[in-house]
Structures are given as C-alpha cells and as structure tokens.
Amino acid sequence: MLTFLLEALIRSSILIVAVWALLRLCRPRSANGEKFAWTLVAAALLVMPLLVWWIVAGTMPLTMLPAQLAVSTGALAELPPLVHSLGAGVVAIYVVGVLAFTARLGAGLLIGARLRRDAQAVPEWGAGMDVRLSARVHGPVSFGSTVLLPVCSLHWDAATLRAVLAHEREHIRNRDAYRLWLASLCRAIFWCNPLVHWLNRRLALLAELTSDAAAVEAIGDRSKYLDVLIRIAGGAPSPAVLVPMTSHLNWTARMRQLLSPNTRSVPRSTSRNAVVGSAILLLSAFVAGCAAKPLVLTGPAAASALQPGRSPSLAVLKSFYPQLLRQRKIQGKAIVRITVDADGRVVDTSIVAEQPAGVGLGALAQRVARAYRFHNTLHRPVITNLPVRFALQQAASGSPPTQSSPGG
C-alpha cells in the first residue's frame, strides 16, 4: 500500500508538471482553454489509479514460482518492526486525510443544497437562469446551475445587477461549479501532493478570470466593473463548494487582469481544445504505463528472471513458524503475490491464498517472502506468486520441528 501511494504521488506530479510545460509551449489564447486542460488533468488523476491497475494486473496471468527456485533463493534481513509501524502509520495518516477532505466536500455539498432549497426564487432576474435570494449568503455565489444572491442585492443599481448576473451566467455556462467539485474530489484523493492543491487553486482562479472577462464585456466598462467588485466584496467566507464572486484567495491576480488593457472574452476554440485534450490523454496513458511498471511473469519466465541468492539461516526460518502452531502440529501452505524491485528486494506482498484458512499462515508467508532476496536479471520490477509451505520436520536426532523453505 505504501509503495502504491508513493507511485501515485510521483505519477500525479509528473502529469501536472508535463501539462504545465505543454501549456507554456502552446500558450492558450484564453483562460477558457487552460481551464479545459486542467479539468482534463483532474479527471485523469482520478482515473489513473484504475488505469495503472489495469495495465499491471491485466498484462499476463499469474502462476507460482517453481519450487526449486524458491528453495534456493537468497536472504534479505527482515525489516525492523519500527519500519513496519512507520509504514502503517503513513498509510493511516493518508486514509485520515482522505476521509477529512471527503467529509469537507460532502458537508459543503449538503450546505449548498440546503441554501438553494431555502432561497427564494427571483424569476424576473433570471433570463433563463435559476436566480434566488438568500439571507445566508453575503455575496453572489453559484451552486451548480443556481445563482444565489444576498438580500441586499434588492438595493443594487441596474449596472451592478447586470455585471453580477453576467459574471454568474458565465460560471453556469462553463459549468465551473462542477469543475471545482471534480478538482475538490481530486484534492481529497491526492491531498498529500502540493501540486494537486495548486491545481485546485488554479482552476478556481481561471473560473473567475473567464467570468470577469464576460462581465466586463457585458457592461462595457472595466473601471465600473472594478467598482462593482470592490463595493460588493467582504462578508463571511462561503462554503468551499460554492463559487463566490469576490473570493479574496485570487484577488490580486484578478485585479491584475482587469487592469490589463487586453481583458476580453475570447471564444472557445474547439479544434485547439481537441488537440490539447488529446495530448493530455496521451500524457496520462504514458505516465500511467511507463512509470516503473512492473512486469508480470509466469513460472518459467520468473525462474529465468529471478536467480537465487543467499539463503536465510535456519534460525531465521524457524522464527517465522510460531511455536504455538508447531505445538498444535498445524501445517499448510500459503501463496503470496510479491513485487520484486530492480535490485532483487521484495518491496510489496499480498496474500493470494492460504490453506488452512484462519490460522494466519498468509501473514506469516508475507514475512517469509520479505526475508528473501533475488538477483533480478531484468533490472526492472517484477510481479509473480511465491508459494510458502509450513511443514513439520522431525530430525533423526529428535531435534525440534522446523519450517521448510518457501515452496520446498
């Protein structure tokens, strides 16, 4: 699990950096084009773990390593208990973080749905939009396809209302709320990656830049629109799932664009978006497929790729066969799926089968697998199955029973 998390962190970082470089090279003419690109990246990050699993697990069927290879494999000292506990602690922290961010997103959606339900519709302002008044919002916000305005908007002049509605209409036309919900879900899954947090903030900024440009075009006066933003700014912060018109998180960048003489709404370029989208999809597939993809091998192929090394001592092997199981004369076999890195170390294990079940032989077999080291002739990660047999052997001298080697 820890290995999977580290790989996900690396893959997500590679994809974000690669798309950033691609956008700098292509130089999109509008914020709409860049927003489209980063939305695709957020979706690709959510799909990538499934794509990686499909590439790795679907390559070839798994079979067991030959017994003679397992008997003669070399030893790797067992990881100290502290290292195991640290790995489990990291995974636990990650899970807690995912739950916290997911709960935040879910709570925000619930609050937004209640705000929309309790708000009063104002159809004469809508012009095809769902516009509602709410006493619980302190500034214009959009939630899905609904625009929520504060009660004080009843006293706004016509120019202010036109600018605000033009801004929110652009949010709804671009489905910005849904884009940001997708980015928030991506942040919940990849919360430990700072670049994903940057992606979330970048999408929020681009959503405001495109809406600002549309509002300036609607009222035809940049300075007047700046006055509108300054006048309605302030108040309590909105829930994260709402799209506030006057968020202070991206205020500086918005002011910089509005003060630029080139602030205007640029039409979408379908062909350009198609080219950028295709490039991002190809990048996603490339990153998912080539970032240290393990090779899944069957028995004969694994036998030639993983050559024997040093054998663990008898004392080490006996330590993996608990005295309690030996006293009860419990014998059996477990099959563990192992991932061997380029240096021959077993870096990940999972239980495939155990017989008899319920006595813990699978967990013991995982410890045995990590005590072995291979000479990896392919110099790339390899996945295969390793059988470990637990058998009582009574020596002629009456020595205590011991555990046999894996597969022996």
Query: Which residue pairs from 16-19 have beta carbons closer than 8 angstroms and sit at least 24 positions apart in sequence?
Result: 16/41, 16/195, 16/196, 16/198, 16/199, 17/195, 18/283, 18/287, 19/280, 19/283
In eight-state DSSP terms, residue 311 is P
Strand pairing partners for 375?
A: 307
pLDDT digits (tens, 9 = 90+) for 12-38: 888 889 889 888 887 766 788 888 889
Residue 73: how many CB atoms within 10 A of its CB? Answer: 28
- pLDDT of 316-343, one tens digit each? 666 777 777 777 888 888 888 888 877 7
Q: Residue 61's pLDDT is what?
A: 33
What's the pLDDT score for residue 299? 55
DSSP single-letter state for residue 406: T
Collect all residues with Cβ–Cβ distance below 8 Å to 292 and sequence separation of at least 6. Answer: 7, 380, 381
Structure tokens belonging to residue 336 = 């563990």
> What would the 3-class secondary structure string for 115-170 be?
HHHHCEECHHHHCCCEEEEECCCCCCEEECCEEEEEHHHHHCCHHHHHHHHHHHHH
Per-residue buried b or exposed e for 174-186, using 16+ beta carbons within 10 Å of the residue's own CB: bebbebbbbbbbb
* Residue whose structure tokens are 């008044």: 133
Averaged pLDDT in 10-residue chunks for the chain of 408 residues: 71 88 77 87 85 50 34 32 56 89 92 91 82 87 90 87 90 91 93 92 90 87 84 64 69 78 56 71 70 54 61 66 79 83 81 84 83 75 78 49 42
All residues at 6 or more sequence positions from 167 whose CB lies less than 8 Å from its CB, including other chains: 140, 211, 212, 214, 215, 245
CA-nearest of 387, 353, 355 to 368 is 387
Q: How far, in Å, are 123, 130, 212, 370 from residue 149 at the CA level?
A: 13, 11, 17, 61
Buried b (16+ CB within 10 A) or exposed e, 14-34: bbbebbbeebeeeebebbbbb
Quick check: 334 and 362 in contact, CB under 8 A?
yes
* pLDDT value of position 178: 92
Could you tell me the CA-to-CA distances from 297 to 39, 52, 80, 204, 309 in Å, in that order?
A: 37, 17, 29, 45, 19
Residue type, 310: R
| pLDDT score of 59 | 37
Residues 307/326, Cβ–Cβ less than 8 Å: no
Question: Which residues 6+ apart lie within 8 Å of 203 measured at CB?
Answer: 35, 38, 39, 42, 179, 180, 183
Report whether 288 contacts 336 (CB < 8 A): no
- Cis amide leading into 356 (omega within 30): yes
Q: CA 166, CA 203: separation in Å to the nearest integer?
A: 19
Helix 194-219 × helix 222-232 angle, to 10°: 120
Whether this model's pTM surpasses 0.75: no
